[in-house]
A and B are shown apart, each in its own frame.
Chain A
């Protein structure tokens, strides 16, 4: 299983986490993800996820003209999104804990 396949299931939560840190737009999210070491994300793959997050009511977006660059769509979390992010953190905590225990025991 490749990293990008593994990431598929948790990219939603990671994007919630990035947006949780402050209003941001697609390209900037990619750059922020890269800073955290997510290099396996194909850049385009975040947009279908953003569409889904918006459809589910976790994020809201607004188009803004930027003085230098292109028109950008900025995303923020809704209260529902904040709640979802908290739940994601809990689920990740317990999942990563279990996976860690398993793989470390094997070594």
Chain B
């Protein structure tokens, strides 16, 4: 039986909230299934999702969260692959273009920015699943985080060029090896998370750079091709996510 849009949203929010609170996947599925069953019974008798939450989804989600233990082991299990993917995203592009270098600033600042921005995303995902923000507000928060992250990365890059000497510049051959390792990490990540996104996204991010290595264009053309590849890729990813979401939640527009 299909649930109403409000109930579907509540179940999705419950999953998101518990997931970002570091709860165990199996336990999340169990309570989500149980509440879905309850809502199906309740709706077939003319009740709404409020009969479950008592009118305050936030308080209700918190009560559920407090009854579940945090799955620290599950979180540490995710960490190594997560860190590998993060490193791969940072260095594969440069390794392909042949401008990879390591400086103290990059080594410290890049991971710090990445962690802060991921922390901000998780924080807001969690907040949004409990509170009822408008789509416009949700979107502006994510765009703001994205802009701040991009600006900080650009600032680091700028400062690095002018004030920091790289302590290690790999040879071109080493860079190709690093790029290949990066590709391997993306493939492993896709198999491990059983999602295609860690393959498609890098493909668009770094694919154009890779192809450009075999042609001689002037720098402006290269930049245009590389940037349009990136944005095309993001558009494709967003579209596919949108379709997937629509297929899973037929009530959500």
A48 touching B67, Cβ below 8 Å:
yes
**CB neighbors of A among B20-44 (8 A):** 30-31, 33-38, 40-42
Among listed B51-59, B80-88, B162-170, B178-186, interface-contacting one = B51-59
B30 touching A43, Cβ below 8 Å:
no
A70 touching B1, Cβ below 8 Å:
yes
Residues on A with beta carbons closer than 8 Å to the beta carbon of B51: 42-44
- What DSSP secondary structure best describes chain A's contact surface? helix
A55 touching B67, Cβ below 8 Å:
yes
Going nearest first, the 4 A-B pairs with the smallest beta carbon separation are A44-B52, A42-B54, A70-B37, A51-B67
**CB neighbors of A among B61-96 (8 A):** 63-64, 66-68
Number of residue pairs spanning A and B whose beta carbons lie under 8 angstroms apart: 60
Inter-chain CA distance A48–B250, complex, in Å, is 29
**B interface residue numbers (CB < 8 A to A):** 1, 30-31, 33-38, 40-42, 47, 51-54, 60, 63-64, 66-68
Type the 1/0 row for A18-60, where 1 means its CB is closer than 8 Å to any CB of B: 0000000111000000000000001111011001100100000
| A26 to B, closest residue via Cβ | B38
Point out the residue from B1, B47, B64 that lies within 8 Å of A51, measured CB to CB.
Answer: B64
**A interface residue numbers (CB < 8 A to B):** 25-27, 42-45, 47-48, 51-52, 55, 63, 69-73
Residues on A with beta carbons closer than 8 Å to the beta carbon of B40: 69-70
Inter-chain CA distance A62–B33, complex, in Å, is 12
Point out the residue from A25, A52, A69, A72 that lies within 8 Å of B67, measured CB to CB.
Answer: A52
Point out the residue from A44, A52, A70 that lies within 8 Å of B60, measured CB to CB.
Answer: A44
Point out the residue from B30, B31, B37, B54 that lies within 8 Å of A72, measured CB to CB.
Answer: B37
Whole-angstrom distance from the CB of B40 to the nearest CB of chain A? 4
Q: Assuming A26-B34, A42-B54, A43-B52, is B41 touching A48 (CB within 8 A)? A: no
B31 touching A27, Cβ below 8 Å:
no
